[in-house]
Each structure stands twice: as C-alpha cells, then as structure tokens.
Amino acid sequence: MTLTTTGRPTAGAGGAVVPVLAFAGIVVAVMQTLLVPVIKDLPQLLDTSPSNATWVLTSTLLSGAVATPIMGRLGDLYGKRRLLVLSLTVMVFGALLSALSSTLLPMIVGRTLQGFAMGAIPLGIGLMRDMLSRERLGSAMALMSSSIGVGGGLALPAAALVAQNTDWHVLFYGAAGLGVVAIALTFVAVPESPVRARGGFDVLGALGLSLGLVLFLLPITKGSDWGWSSATTLGLFGAAAGVLLLWGLLELRVSSPLVDLRTTVRREVLLTNLASIMVGVSFFVVSLVLPQLLQLPAATGYGLGQSMVVAGLCVAPLGLTMMFTAPVYARLSARYGPRTTLIIGLLVIALGYAGGLGLMNAAWQTVITSVILGAGIGLAYSSLPALIVGAVPASETGAANGLNTLMRSIGTSVSSAVIGMVLANTANTVGGVEIPTMQGFRVSFLIATGAVGIGLVLAFCLPRRRPSDLPQLRASSEEDANLERAVAALGGFRGRVLAADGTPVARAKVTLIDRRGRHAGATLSAEDGSYALTVPAEGSYVLAAQAAGHSPLASAATHSGDADPIDLDLALPGRTVTA
C-alpha cells in the first residue's frame, strides 16, 4: 500500500482548524441564502419572466448537488484542503460574475459557479476526521455540519438589510469577500491531510452521476411550473431513473468508483442517508413558511405585517440555536452515541412543528418556534456526519460525507417543491396576486412533522452505538509510557520522530493507517521524540508523521502480529519555510 502526503502544517494549526473550517461552512450557507430577501423581485431586477428567474436559484442547487460528491472524492484522492480551496475559489469567481451582472444568462452562470462551494462541507468534515483527536472531533463535526443553518440564520437578516438599503449587487460582493477571507484562513491555519484514497478518479462515473442528478432534480424544482403530470416532468423522472440505474451498475464494476455503492448500502450508511433526506425536508419547511407568514400584511387577518429585516431577525434564532447545540451534541453523543442524539433531535423537531401549529399569531411566537426547531435540527444535523464517519474507511470520508450532504440537498429540494405546491394550491387570489393562506402554512407544518416521523423510524432502525474507530491522541509522557507498555504486550510500532538533522521532534502527530486507508491509531511524540502505537492485527500499515514547521512523512511498514514491537524511527524530510 502506498500513501502520498502534501501540505504544510503551520504552527498553531491545531487550535485554529475547527473555527476556520466552520467559517468556510458559514460562507457556503451565506452563498445559499444570499438571494432569499430578493427572490420575489428577481424578475424585475433581471428584466425577465418569473419562470426564467427561478433558474437563478435552480442553477445553484443543481451545480451544488453535482459538485458535492465529486469534490469529496477528489479530496480523498488528491488532498482535501486543496479541493476545499478550489471550491471556495470557484465560488468567489461566480460571486464576482454575478455582482457585475444585471441580465439573466450571466447571473445563471455566476450562480452555477457559486454552487461548487457546497463541496466545502464534506471536505471540512473529512479534514477534521484526519487531524483531530476523538475528544475534539465530535463537537467539531457538529459545528461544521450545523454551519449551513448557522450561516443561513445569520445571513438572512443581514442580506435583508443590505437589499433593503443598498444596491442588491452588494450581496455578491460581500459573498466574494467572505470567500477570499475563508481561502486565506485555510491556507494559513489548515494543514493538508496525509490520508489518501487509492485508485484514480472515475470520470465516467462522475459524468453519469451528474447527468442523473440533473435529470432528477430538474423536474423537482420546475415541476410546479411545467405541471407535475406533464410529459416533460414525467419524461425527465423516467430518464433520471434509467441513467442512475446504469450508473449504479457501472459503479459496481469499476475498481475505483466515484461512490462505493457496497459501502453505501450498508445498513448504517443507507439509513443515515435516508434520514438525512427527512432532516433536510424538516429544515427547509420552516425557512419557507415563517418568513412569508411574518411579511404578509396584517389586513389578511393572519399575516404579521413585519418588514423584511424584522422577519429575518425572527427567523435568525433558527441558525443561532443550531450553533449553540454543537457542544450539547458532543456531550450527548459521547455518552449515548450519535444514534441516540439523532433520535433526540428528531423528537425536538417534532415538538417544534407540533407546537408551531399554535404559535402563529405574533412575531414573538415565531421566535419560540425558531429556537425549538433550531435546537432539534442542530442535534440532528450534528449526528449525521458522525454516523457516516463511524461507518466508512478514513480514505472514503470525503466521498461518503459528500453523498450525505447531497441527500440533505435532495431533502431541501423535495421540501421546496412540495411546500411550494401546497402553498400555491391553497392560496387566495387578491387583485391578481396569489396570497398564501393559514391553511397552507398549517398543512406545510404537518408535512414537516410527517417527514420527522419517517426520520424517527429510520433512526430507530440504525444499529446501536459501538466503540468508535477514531483514535484518541495522547500528549503526556505518562500516557506515552503506558502506551509503550501496551505495545510491549500486544505488539506494534515504536521509535522516535526525528528532524532532518537528527534532533528529536516533540508533539509530532503520528497516525497509523491500515491497508484499507482506515485510521488504526494515533499518538503524539514525547519530549524526546519517542512514540509507540499498537496494531489491531497483522498486515501492512502506513505511519504518517507531521509536525509544525516540518514537511510531513509517510512510511510503509508491515507487522507480523507478534507480541514483539517493531522499532521504526520516522525522519521528517525537512523544514518548511513559512512567511
């Protein structure tokens, strides 16, 4: 087995990795939420028809759905940080193109490029798995997974304020600026992961998945305009089924598939992905219903007559609460496991929607609903990557989490289509304008509750918690001594981490990776550079070492499974030059 390493770990990177990656996730959410305050004005702003204006939103959805699993797989193969920077760079160029556009076609192209940023979420989760200790990983993944909601909650009132008081193009300049900051912070604070998947990139598989997703999501997003029983809608659904079936057969035959379907159909992975769709549905319903309810005129008898900015502020607690649930999730998951945390989250979401049916009469009531739903969605979203990470090899983390993020996107797409249809079919026409009714809002909440019920059934079918495969780093000399005694009893590798000039390197991270690319153990070198790692079984391994100020190293080794430890010094090839 071979493994290549790239990247330059920087001093102090460990403490900055989590906030920087979470900030990148928030930037992605800002990009998604950017146009929500001006959706109804897009036809006028772009001098086009309402039907054509919806392509500005649809294009981002489609490109994000296509890019997410592809960027995840490329990250597994060629470096997660490298692909994270690439996805953010493409987003910045797309935002600048949109900022300079006032016509439909360039705006669609710009928004399509912005959709590539969706790959940042699985790439960030993959980087966290590769670099963080078990103690930090739970809360870090929770924060990364929740960043979509956090960014959306914060961006909604901010975007409304900008759109209400300045030129709407400023929204795109702001998104581009945030993207540049995220790229710079990533270069400075996030080292490249040494973990690589074997094989090559499945180009044919990527093309097949892209085509299948476009054919599937296109009628979902445009079905209300074309008619759900129209030949175009039904034809595209049929074509999507055929393409995805052929794509699946292809993936089962190639040696290095884009998505390992054998892993995907494992009980834990499959049920988690299906539950992700339900969580995506429940998340988007509140985002569609509450802003409309808040901004409808009080003269309707049920509208709350609030401004665009106030409506955004009332919904903002949805994202803020998701952020604050990350440490709560870490404690719950550490004690009971992510399966139990997912169930608790779904129960809280159900409580929020059930209670929300009676909390639609004042703005403060919508805030309560947002807080409850934010807590539940935060717990549920935080559980999903932990369940995926615990069920797949480390070398497949990016692709597997990319697929999981795609499932959430499909959930939000289905939610948007279904709720849009419900609100349209229950609307009243006043002066030629369709006004959503309270009946439509309540039916939407009931649909979300039903989706949560399905998610609960899926969550209860998940296997119960098992010991984590993730390693626990040891930093103290006493712990290293204990581990070395364990190596003497169980067999493993021991030695010293040395610099190019032969001096010992303290607090270097040494990671043991098995022949399938999975983490098998990790530790930190002691003050004299010594390290010790046990092995779970005989076989081929790679020991990857990295330390601040040094280039990383990967060394192949084989263990026979004997009780005697194998002595192996790890000489880091040289120092990096930092600005």
DSSP state of 357: T
Digit-coded pLDDT (tens) for 56-83: 877 887 788 788 888 888 888 888 899 9
Global pTM value: 0.66
**479 band by pLDDT with thresholds 50, 70 and 90:** very low
Residue 78, in any domain of the structure: yes
Report the C-alpha dihedral over residues 371, 373, 376, 377, rounded to 10 degrees.
-110
Whole-angstrom distance, CA of residue 439 vs CA of residue 441: 5
For 417-471, give the DSSP string.
HHHHHHHHHTPEEETTEEE--HHHHHHHHHHHHHHHHHHHHHHHHSPPP----S-
Sequence-separated (6 or more) residues with CB below 8 Å from residue 570 = 495, 496, 497, 498, 508, 510, 531, 543, 545, 553, 555
Q: Specify which of 149-158, 377-386, 553-562 reaches the highest per-range mean pLDDT.
A: 377-386
Digit-coded pLDDT (tens) for 271-328: 888 998 898 888 778 877 888 888 888 887 878 888 777 877 887 787 778 777 767 7
| Greatest alpha-carbon span in the chain | 85
What is the chain's mean pLDDT, rounded? 79
State which of 432, 461, 490 marks the end of a domain: 461
User: Does pLDDT of 473 surpass 70?
Assistant: no
Helix (H) or strand (E) holding 571: strand 570-571
Expressed in percent and rounded to 5, the helix, strand and coil fractions of the chain are 65, 10, 25
Question: Are the C-beta atoms of residues 538 and 492 closer than 8 Å to each other?
Answer: no
510 phi and psi, to 5 degrees? -115, 120
Residue 454, in any domain of the structure: yes
Residue 193 Rama label (left phi>0; alpha psi -120 to 50; beta): beta
User: Does pLDDT of 384 surpass 60?
Assistant: yes
Residue 228, in any domain of the structure: no
- CATH number (domain holding residue 515): 2.60.40.10
Residue 221, in any domain of the structure: no
Same domain, 432 and 522: no
Domain containing residue 280: 13-201+256-461
Same domain, 368 and 435: yes
- In the chain, the number of structural domains is 2
Question: Are the C-beta atoms of residues 241 and 219 closer than 8 Å to each other?
Answer: no
Residue 7, in any domain of the structure: no
Same domain, 395 and 266: yes
Whole-angstrom distance, CA of residue 125 vs CA of residue 145: 8
pLDDT at 480: 42
